[in-house]
Structure 1
């Protein structure tokens, strides 16, 4: 569905009305991540929304890092965020940091003090909470609420100069301790935090709170539509109050609902736990819902953008099925992934009537779903082949259309073979399948007149390359592992990663390209991993060919 075909979402309706009324010459949005972790699929939705709106309405989007908490922020996270946004296909106009505005924000705070709208408070966090009141009971004034403007200016200056230890004093807005919105009951604007900042070093020891920095930074950048998630609805009143009292550019905040994805968590705190406690190997582990994890697993930018477009935005939180995200990557890779053959659980097949020492080159299309096949590759064929163990049964049932005594199948791109006998070891495991082939049955040139119902894939033994194959599945066993009533780590799927150390792959895969998807015929979609070396390729399974979880959920 194109943008023109679908109906407008409620933010687009607001923008179109604003443009119609001539409120703005240009639509300006911002994406304001805090650099305290890697971006996840939830951020992707916000990225697509903010950048997509300004693409549609010929505006621009700024990337602004909300770096007001120096104890949790790192340059590593800044760089990863920029990489993820670029990879998704978006470009920001300005790369900005809230720390760029520290001096301006400090001046705004002084202006509020001078207008009698802010004061320095000495009470502790515990005392502040006690005086806050409840949703049904008004709060009580701090004993320091009525300090003079001069005293507040002096104390705030000394806070900046580092005279007081962490937590000793705060700067609070003077609004209304009986306000129905508890966030308006004299909220904290600045706190003391003696910590090294990733950009400003030790220049500052007081830092603005998010609620103070957010709206003012938007105003400085002339943001027309500041788009947040629903938890910021109660904050909008303070956002507007600060802009009004400071008499600065009137940016406007709008909220949309989060789209949580089932079978995963997107809390940065919980994702960090997964990393630091060793449940995953890092932020880009292919089981993580981070954009870098999805990228490493083999998801494409288009699949994520299409997913975000399909789920859209709304005013009510909703749980989206992970299988929908898988649908979009299957749809994308089906059109773009080259087909190759790989055998993950091998058993040897010997064609007894094929000349020993002989081999030949067969031809296979790269992608039969695309007109022209995107070219073709040469596939070496020989007397000895690797096939999947599951493609042979010693005592097959009636509707088993693969290999078994007396059964015939077609080898993909090759010949029809008939199973004559097999060999077992002392433990009873099949070690070799002996077949004969029909020379006249070559794919594309079949004159044998024989028809078989089954086709299996294979890899020529003397030409095969080995690779490590990692089969990834969902990290959690339940739909809503982030439910606060339970420890999310109890629901980790211990079988979310299966490593096959020595799979056999088609020789052409030795030239596999990083970032490209490959369909291992009958096995799923795969991509080469960053752990690959010249001596050993590593492939990650992006997704299975079909939704294997739908049946499991129905069983449950």
Structure 2
């Protein structure tokens, strides 16, 4: 067997063994999860070299990954828990293009076009029928801005037989793309959205730390501290059209959700699959 064939066999064996699972602390796993070579090199520079054994907090690696992606990953919008919003003062065939920057600080990454239509989807957690003043998202009778698009105001909901909200009825406040409402009533916050007719369905894999403790073998049984939520799969997320054209291993920041990468093996335009690389902030240090 040639050296090239041996190497391929080793790679194939590693895949079968699960070495490329994004939860595993292997180079293959890190690559599939979206850790860039630059971030790993930065991490190595941070910890230095020593002859003695030592333990390094995984948060240092995550910091290097997060810092690299924050500077270099283009932004995009994805809705993981979709709720339909119908903008009733728009026509059925309304289609308007709004322009969104690919990065708020890096103009070199350019812009993209987003189709704004009569029906959009927002995250269900971004809507409440009633809420206190601390809730800065969409509430009945209140306003919110759809990122890089219009301010909208919700006025009613549609519920199913079980009483669950399946649709929000709202209206567009005119002339608010890039502007505050002319009547002086400002929106409470900004939320992500995707056109329901022009966005695409995607599978989202939410990866997290494999163990709930920094030193899983300290108690003698590492299986007792395996994180049950180290992988959560969402089958019916909505993503903006630009993400359907993503290439395997291309990284993005899904606004307000975290950093994600198109899976190197499973992703395609027809069946998009994105792996969460890391969250926007270190919630583990906050006890979440």
TM norm structure 1? 0.48
Structure 1: 5+ residue runs without aligned partners? 1-64, 66-73, 81-271, 277-281
Distance 1:508 1:325 in 2: 29
1:493 alignment partner in structure 2: 227
Structure 2: 5+ residue runs without aligned partners? none
The alignment's C-alpha RMSD in Å is: 2.2
Q: Does 1:504 align with 2:238?
A: yes
Matches within 5 A, 1:454-473: 454-473=189-208
Q: Which of 81, 85, 95 does residue 345 from structure 1 map onto?
A: 81
Deviation at 1:367, TM superposition (A): 1.1
Higher strand residue share: 2
Structure number with greater Rg is 1
Is the CA contact 1:421–1:434 (under 8 Å) kept in the aligned structure 2? yes
SS at match of 2:55: strand
Matches within 5 A, 1:35-54: none
2:266 alignment partner in structure 1: 531
1:522 alignment partner in structure 2: 256
Deviation at 1:299, TM superposition (A): 0.6
Deviation at 1:514, TM superposition (A): 2.1
Distance 1:430 1:413 in 2: 26
Distance 1:435 1:376 in 2: 28
Distance 1:435 1:447 in 2: 15
Q: Does 1:362 align with 2:86?
A: no
Q: Does 1:402 align with 2:137?
A: yes
Is the CA contact 1:334–1:369 (under 8 Å) kept in the aligned structure 2? no
2:42 alignment partner in structure 1: 306
| 1:355–1:284 Cα change, 3 Å | same
Residue deviations 1:425-447 (CA, integer Å, cap 9, x gap) = 1222111111111111112x556
Greater relative CO, 1 or 2 (CA 8 Å, sep 6+):
2
Is the CA contact 1:350–1:385 (under 8 Å) kept in the aligned structure 2? yes
Residue deviations 1:66-105 (CA, integer Å, cap 9, x gap) = xxxxxxxx9348865xxxxxxxxxxxxxxxxxxxxxxxxx
Matches within 5 A, 1:147-546: 282-370=18-106, 372-443=107-178, 445-446=179-180, 448=182, 449-483=184-218, 486-529=220-263, 530-546=265-281
Deviation at 1:502, TM superposition (A): 1.3
TM norm structure 2? 0.91
SS at match of 1:527: strand
| 1:289–1:393 Cα change, 3 Å | same
Distance 1:373 1:381 in 2: 24
Distance 1:303 1:79 in 2: 25
Number of equivalences: 281
Is the CA contact 1:365–1:373 (under 8 Å) kept in the aligned structure 2? no
Higher helix residue share: 1
| 1:451–1:468 Cα change, 3 Å | same
Is the CA contact 1:468–1:503 (under 8 Å) kept in the aligned structure 2? yes
